[in-house]
Amino acid sequence: MEEAIATKASGKYLTWVKTISKKVILIFDDFALRQYNHEEANIIPDILEERQRKSITIVTSQIKS
């Protein structure tokens, strides 16, 4: 998330999303173990939409009780 936010600040966000989208496999490990702020929450759909039907995305998560 820090890298994505930094690329937004530098104006290179769309290039970063396209670079991430070209990876053969992307794994979100331990996804959603914390709450994301609004800016962070918008990054995830951007990545998933760009990757849709192009490559493999794996999401793993745990529920803390």
Question: Residue 64 has what pLDDT?
Answer: 66
Is the overall model pTM greater than 0.85, yes or no? no
Q: For residues 41 and 12, is the Cβ–Cβ distance under 8 A?
A: no
Enumerate helices (H) and strands (E) in the chain, giving the number of each.
3, 2
Query: pLDDT of the chain along its 65 residues, tens only?
Result: 889 999 999 999 999 999 988 899 999 888 877 888 898 889 989 998 988 888 899 988 887 66
Contact 55, 23 (CB under 8 A): yes
Provide the token pair at 15.
């290039």
- Residue 25 sits at φ, ψ, to 5 deg, of -130, 135
Please say whether the beta carbons of 3 and 40 come within 8 A. Answer: no
Q: What is the pLDDT of residue 54?
A: 86
